[in-house]
Amino acid sequence: MPPSDSTPLPAIDPTSPSCQSILSELHTKYRSLTVGKVANYIPELAKMDPDWFGIAVATVDGQVFTVGEADQLFTIQSISKVFVQGMALEDHGRDYFLTKVGVEPTGDAFNAIILDEQSKRPYNPMVNAGAIATTSLIKGADPTERLNRMLEMFRRYIGHDIFVDIATFMSERATGDRNRAMAYLMRNFGMIDGAIDEALDLYFQQCSVMVSCRDLAVMAATLANLGVNPITGERAVAATYIRDILSVMYTCGMYNFAGEWAYRVGLPAKSGVSGGIIVVVPNQLGIAVFSPPLDDRANSVRGVKVCEELSDYFGLHLFDSSMGCQKFLQRFGKGSV
């Protein structure tokens, strides 16, 4: 039987605070939740174990707390869109970026073939059409240089070298006709310039980058830390574009669940069809959850539950007057890097 949403977490002993114990309780509470289905429209994704379940929290002062399969590698998928948006902004600036990609939420599915009727732009960089247009903006003399620049960008956020899973990339490429349709439609309206196949290959490659839940928590904490990786101290993105990234995450990051997410959780977030969710608590910490089974809006079932409970339990909602995130940092000691 899945756990009851109303089941309270046990009281915390204030004399021996432990973030690990809270994450462990959440992991225990929701690991038996078996609803949802692993994505199968990309064949490689269908191979993921539905029992994989990891939670990680990274703070802006470099603490990292994990539980479960937090070091299991998986493909980043749509969570990559957040970081590629930042790269495109650095390459072109805010004004030019907005001529190619909008920032409006949409109630449509993430893979809808639809553009804004007036501007002909894709609605935002978090849906597939907008993400493809965003990726096409990445500068480089040739496809190899663009890919290497992108991998280096991810390295700065994570703190170590990363790689593209070739099997997933080839699987995405072989089944990507819907994304091709979007790309050709956008080129017709001038939202994409240049070779469609090169832009799509780079997009499929960014979605096929391998990460862990721990990596995602550090990436989220880097955004929370105004673009500086809290583990390495290296800047990953210019601080001036953090507001752009977090604004779009808040309004568009959870697809057609974005409004309810903003209401219930109240934090910038992004999900991916491999089962990852990242959450940013500005100036405080990053949260990541990984669990492959998805709901009918392509968000991790366990991931949504964990994030809702963490936000409620600690008062993390941006409009919660209790300042829960401050209490979180005051309450817990050092984690393990």
| Catalytic center residues | 78, 81, 203, 255, 273
Q: Rg of the chain's alpha carbons, rounded to an integer?
A: 19
Beta bridge partners of 286: 58, 280
Residue 208 near residue 172, CB atoms below 8 Å:
yes
What whole-number distance in Å separates Cα of residue 108 and Cα of residue 263?
18
H, E, C per residue of the chain: CCCCCCCCCCCCCCCCCCHHHHHHHHHHHHCCCCCCECCCCCCCHHHCCCCCCEEEEEECCCCEEEEECCCCCEECHHHHHHHHHHHHHHHHCHHHHHHHCCCCCCCCCCCCCCCCCCCCCCCCCCCHHHHHHHHCCCCCCCHHHHHHHHHHHHHHHHCCCCCECHHHHHHHHHCCHHHHHHHHHHHHCCCCCCCHHHHHHHHHHHHCEEECHHHHHHHHHHHHCCCECCCCCCECCCHHHHHHHHHHHHHHCCHHHHHHHHHHCCCCEEECCCCEEEEEECCCEEEEEECCCECCCCCEHHHHHHHHHHHHHHCCCCCCCCCHHHHHHHHCCCCCC
What whole-number distance in Å separates Cα of residue 38 and Cα of residue 58?
26
Residue 162 near residue 154, CB atoms below 8 Å:
yes
Residue 109 near residue 256, CB atoms below 8 Å:
yes
